[in-house]
Amino acid sequence: MSTSAAAAEAEAEAPDLVCELDSVQGIVDALTSVRWKRYQDALVELSEHGIVIIVEETSCLQAKVYLQRELFVKYEYGARGRPRFGMSLGLFVDCLNTFSVPGKSNILELRYPGPDMQLLLRSVDSPNACIYAQIRTRIPETISWDYNFEPTGATPLTFTVKSAALKEAIDDLEWPGSSIQIKLQPTPPSVIFRAEGHGDLQIEFNYYANMDLLIAFSCDRPISHRYKYKFLRATTSNIPASVLKDNRGSKFTMGRGGLLKVQHLVSVSKPSSIPHIESAGYQQPSRIAYIEFFVKPHVQEDEEEEEEQVNVVNDSQ
């Protein structure tokens, strides 16, 4: 076999990605944030910039976990383009938990693809034992909707709330049993969460009165949209305890058509290290996983109005 042919064969057999993590628990926390039901499929996209995990629900809720290459102690990317594969999110999280030792910094290697297109995992820093696992992947399904988030104008419609207060507020909004209205108003600067159903509950964050909770606010005109409670709750139901303990903020942005973007930052620092914390309470970007949720607005009211108009026309006939 010629040298060029051997090199071509070796290149063809080389994996698309070999990377190593030194904070398995941080990745588990990030992925658990987007695990809102027991059986959930995920789409994994690889690139030279890192790994993106995407999950969605009934074309109304989509979440993305961004694991930038800076989070890995080793990141060797050899693929052309951006390979994608599907797998069970729950199985992946449970498998990562097997490699996570509380309070101990352990290194995990991920390799893709294996001989049968598996995702391969193994511990690489234990002198006495090696834990090894493989996860079967599948041909990825097409994402059913394009989030295509666009701003609504020159001034962003956005606010940032302390994550612990946000989670508590959304949990409290469950009992009225209805969709949730989120209203932003510039005068006075405030954010209102309201649910009307079996009861009526309104939670208001005033920017100047509660700057310890509503820590950022940008709005130049009144605007409101409604969202199904189960989808809104999914954005906060599994926020990691580390985020709540660090008293970090979660950012909301309303886009064109009422599309809602919710962003969280999850620490992936090594258990044995003392992470650098900036004055604003955020860690350096290299040790943060970015979580984004996209929630479509609830349009039930419009549908009901159209149905009532049709009924009126039928009655008149």
Tokens representing 51 are: 């790994």
Q: Which residues contact 315 (CB under 8 A, 6 or more apart)?
A: none
Tokens representing 169 are: 């507020």
Q: pLDDT, tens digit, for every residue of 214-231? A: 999 999 999 999 999 999
Distance CA 157, CA 253 (A): 6
Give pLDDT, residue 50.
96
Query: CA-CA distances (angstroms) from residue 119 to 8, 19, 38, 207, 277?
Result: 23, 12, 21, 46, 34
| Topology of the domain comprising 157-304 | Proliferating Cell Nuclear Antigen (3.70.10)
Query: Tokens 């352990």 — which residue?
Result: 106
Q: Which of 3.10.150.10, 2.60.260.20, 3.40.190.10, 3.30.470.20 is the CATH number of 16-135?
A: 3.10.150.10
Distance CA 103, CA 25 (A): 9
| Kind of pairing between the strands at 84-88 and 119-123 | unpaired
Give pLDDT, residue 302.
45
Give pLDDT, residue 316.
46
Give pLDDT, residue 281.
44
Sheet holding 180-185, edge to edge: 200-206, 190-196, 180-185, 223-227
- CATH 3.70.10.10 intervals, the chain: 157-304
Model confidence, pTM: 0.85
Give pLDDT, residue 271.
64
Distance CA 43, CA 87 (A): 7
Nearest CA-CA partner of 248 in 260, 265, 273, 236: 265
All residue ranges of the chain with pLDDT < 50 are 1-3, 5-10, 273-285, 302-317
- CATH 3.10.150.10 intervals, the chain: 16-135
